[in-house]
Amino acid sequence: MRKTTLLLLILILPSLLFAQQRKNTRSKQLVIARVTVIDATGAPAKPDMTVLIMGDRIIELGKSQEIRTPRDAQILDATGKFLIPGLWDMHVHLEFWGKDAGLPLCIANGVTGVRDMGGDLDLLRQWQKQIELGTVIGPRIVAAGPILDGPTPGYPLRITVKNPAEARQAVASLKKRGVDFIKVHAHLSRESYFVIADEAKKRGVTFAGHVPISVPAAEASDAGQKSIEHLNESALLIDCSSREAELRRGEGGYQQYLDTYSEGKCQELFSRFRRNGTWQVPTLVTLRSFAYLRETDPSRNALMRYVPKKMKESMQNLFDMYFKNRKEEEWAIAKKVYEKDLEMVGAMHRAGVGLLAGSDAAILAGSYSAVAGFDLHEELVQLVRAGLTPMEALQAATLNPARFLGKLDDQGTVEKGKLADLVLLEGNPLQDINNTKKINAVIVGGKLIAKSDLEAMLAKVEAAANKN
């Protein structure tokens, strides 16, 4: 009898201990006390709030005097600080940075979610799994996988589509591989582009990206393209031109875009975008880099210490290839185009077109903008320059991405029941959008990452960059 009892204890005890351990883990709560909550719904800031987090969810939120703090909870006194939702960067290429740089740079900057606009799908899925298992700290990832494009030698991670038949097959293949959406690029033929749009609709997958020069943005919107990136490399100015047909044939340059700009045509286009639900990801920080690159001295950019050597070399090669021989008048026109881009973004916003904050960090790493993670904050600054309020700019990186991705039930705002992806700030971003850069702590899936830990993550990235 004693042997039988002992055997049962040996068999059952580990399970009982594991169950108790799980129970203790579940009961352990994180309490953010006496914080000012900026929930990103558009409501005013709420001072002296307490937020209770269990597991990966916000389970309670209210005035501090009304919230009962659990006895065994981890309590973070956030007096004088501001809590916002975790930020999303809606245009990144993580693979260029690599797991050991890209992921921590995002988290250290409060970027808890990203939309990857072209990369190795298998690699990104591997990172996703590691993040979900908790073996790696990183943002939530929504991924396109390889980009669909026409013949463009020298561009990696793209599926070359030569004709409509290949276009239809490419969509089917990517859908089968489980991409979250399909990224299209500018060198697709008109015929292939519309076949991609048709096949994507049939297979229930969204598509986003660039618009070929042969396809007016209004037609792309009607075809169901969910987002247009970079203001289509400022080519939306063609769609707003009184000489659109000539410019689309290549008869003229950026000065003609500016000289023939028609506000009336723009308003018609923006109405189409709003009606069709076509979002815009301006990536102003990257467009500004293209305009001001000559005046930038990367050696004076303190953030270059986080950029791996190969990224610095890529940036220099890009400059030599596209900008080294640019003439004085071309630089001057580029700046004027950027100012018009800002004006267009403000006009789109006033017309009700949905805007998403994205950086395209890999393109000009360490130049006028910054590096992965950091330059999303600069994007918010540029959105305010374009005419958005600080709250509206903040929503472009929180509420709007959740709406765009169909995840508003779980993400995008600081509310009871939502995922605990949060950023604790030392300054009020509604008074100055630059205060999103003053990060005190980041909460990812309910797990607190203190300021000292964030600094350690950045130090590790810097050390690795110096070695490479």
Q: List, for residues 397-437, the tens digit of each pLDDT value.
A: 999 999 999 999 999 999 999 999 999 999 999 999 999 99
Q: For residue 192, is pLDDT > 50?
A: yes
Place of tokens 């008109």: 190
Cα 109 to the center of its chain, rounded Å:
12
Domain-located, residue 46: no
Residue 14: pLDDT band with limits 50, 70, 90: very low
Rounded CA separation 50/64 (Å): 5
Q: How many helices (H) and strands (E) does the chain have?
A: 18, 17
Across the beta sheet with 227-229, the strand order is 158-160, 147-149, 182-184, 207-209, 227-229, 279-281
φ and ψ of 58, to 5 deg: -80, 115
Domain CATH code at residue 282: 3.20.20.140
Domain-located, residue 361: yes
Rounded CA separation 336/256 (Å): 12
Yes or no: say if 435 and 382 are a contact pair by the CB < 8 Å rule. no
Domain-located, residue 3: no
Compare 109 and 156 and report the one with higher pLDDT: 109
Domain-located, residue 23: no
Rounded CA separation 85/423 (Å): 6
The total of structural domains in the chain comes to 1
Domain-located, residue 80: no
Q: Residue 110 belongs to what domain range? A: 87-412
pLDDT tens by residue, 25-70: 445 799 999 999 999 999 999 999 999 999 999 999 999 999 999 9
Domain-located, residue 246: yes
C-alpha distance from residue 370 to each of 53, 107, 202 (Å) = 33, 15, 40
Domain-located, residue 79: no
Q: For residue 273, is pLDDT > 90?
A: yes
Q: For residue 189, is pLDDT > 50?
A: yes
Domain-located, residue 424: no
